[in-house]
Structure 1
Amino acid sequence: MPSILIVDDDADLSAIVARYLESEGFAVARAASAEDAYDVLAARAFDLVLLDINLPGDDGFAACAALRRASDVPVIFASARTSETDRIEGLDTGGDDYLPKPYSLRELRSHVNALLRRAKGRAGGAASAGRSAGPFTLDEGAGILAKEGVPVPLSPKELALAGYLMGHEGTAVSKERLLAEVWGAFSEVEPQTVSVHMSWLRAKLEDDPAHPAYFKTVRGKGYLFDAGGGGAA
């Protein structure tokens, strides 16, 4: 189930939008300010952020810029500020889309779905529900990762870590990026946490955890998923 964080100080509007998105199959959290959003994003990762500009404290532009320094999560600006200057600044600070208020809920859903499709395409799509990569099949909706057809019991973080690496097959991903995208963009968890979870993941998924064929370490760069299970990275 894709997760969305709504950052908007209009409590009534964000509640309406949240209820609609939940009815469409999304998991939704809300924050009334950028500062609240930082706390939420430190605790968990999201698939998309819906961000207003006029916020108490840091405005939406500052929040987006801060988020971009830590994460590639898709961002849709949703704002009553519709001037060309605002739209340009929103995109230049790292926004992926700009939706003027007022908007219809159906229009919002279309923008959300389109952006999530593009994000999945950039990630290679290998980790989407029911997709296979090498001997592994990941069903994110069911929370199951199977190896050669046999489900492997994984913790939620192990599953998310495996899914993120599978979705970026062939690309070395740094510990810092994994912390941001799996644990939360502003998480204060130590990078060593990634190493520990990788060790647990390999113990469950690799034939020889000491010499991993699929979930590899790339010296100086991070970790890489190799669907072919070739030699050392």
Structure 2
Amino acid sequence: MKEKILIVDDEGDIVSFLKDTLEDEGYEVFTAYDGNEAIEKSRLYPDLILLDVMMPNKNGYEVCRDIRDIVSCPIIFLTAKQEEQDIINGLSIGGDDYISKPFSLRQLKARIKAHLRRDRRNFNNHEKSNLYFGKLSIDLKGRMVYVNGELIAITKKEFDIIEFLAANCGQVFSKEQIYEKIWGYDAEGDSSAIAEHIKNIRRKFANFDSDIEYISTIWGVGYKWQKGI
């Protein structure tokens, strides 16, 4: 699946140029032209954000503060402001890198690749506290699930099932395997309860996003989590 990049800048020529360039590199690219639109587009859960500082409505620093509760992806500031204090401000509020305009396109592409590579390593090492699948995000530490930024009311066992399947995205598990993982090997009960829990999870997700079924049924085998778009 293509990695997603959000470009935020009020200069249309820069946005258009970067969008074409990054799409040629194989990325899926979203764009925003002011701070408010940037916050809205962040709910698409990009893998990386290129964020201008000087913009209408909200500047880049304000946007960065506001979206850090939504996304944990790398944020690279692109700006003409080159004072040391500006750089310190950007990095201290949640930015990961700072590139001054005018910038070298080769350097920018190299930094994007480096940040995405580092982010993938963190994900594989289970260092992330959040998992993102399209419009859905899972807060592992807070044990909360959001769809389109809306908190979903789920039970403890429902979260355990979601966490287990999502952490093993693409892998198929039987009802028995899921039951043993969540309830334990010595638990007294029936693995048929898994089907009912998954039915409830799907119903709750569908209330907020009916386009994607995150938990797929593999007939005769079990269930798997599929990554949203």
The number of residues matched between the two structures is: 172
Report matched runs for 1:1-233 at 5 Å: 1-42=2-43, 44-124=44-124, 157=133, 172-176=140-144, 179=146, 183=147, 187-192=149-154, 195=159, 198=162, 201=165, 205-208=173-176, 211-213=179-181
Higher relative contact order by CA 8 Å / sep ≥ 6: 1 or 2?
1
Between the aligned residues of both structures, percent identity stands at 30
After superposition, the C-alpha distances for 1:58-100 in whole angstroms (9 at most, x for unaligned) are 1100111112233311100011111101000000011000011
Query: Structure 1 125/196 Cα, relative in aligned 2: closer, same or farther at 3 Å?
Result: closer
TM-score calculated relative to the size of structure 2: 0.63
Letter in 2 for 1:62: E
By how many angstroms is 1:210 displaced?
Answer: 5.8
**Structure 1: which 5+ runs fail to align?**
127-155, 166-170, 217-233
**TM-score, normalisation: structure 1:** 0.62
Q: Is the 8 A contact 2:161 2:178 kept in 1?
A: no
Q: Which amino acid aligns with 1:198?
A: I
Deviation at 1:41, TM superposition (A): 1.9
List gaps (5 residues or longer) in structure 2: 127-131, 167-171, 185-229
Give the residue type in structure 1 aligned to 2:116: L
* Pair 33,114 (structure 1): closer, same or farther in 2 beyond 3 Å: same
Partners of 1:120 and 1:200 lie apart in 2 by 19
Contact 2:39 2:66 in 1 (8 A): no
SS in 2 for 1:49: strand
- In angstroms, what is the RMSD of aligned CA positions? 3.6
**1:49 CA displacement:** 0.5
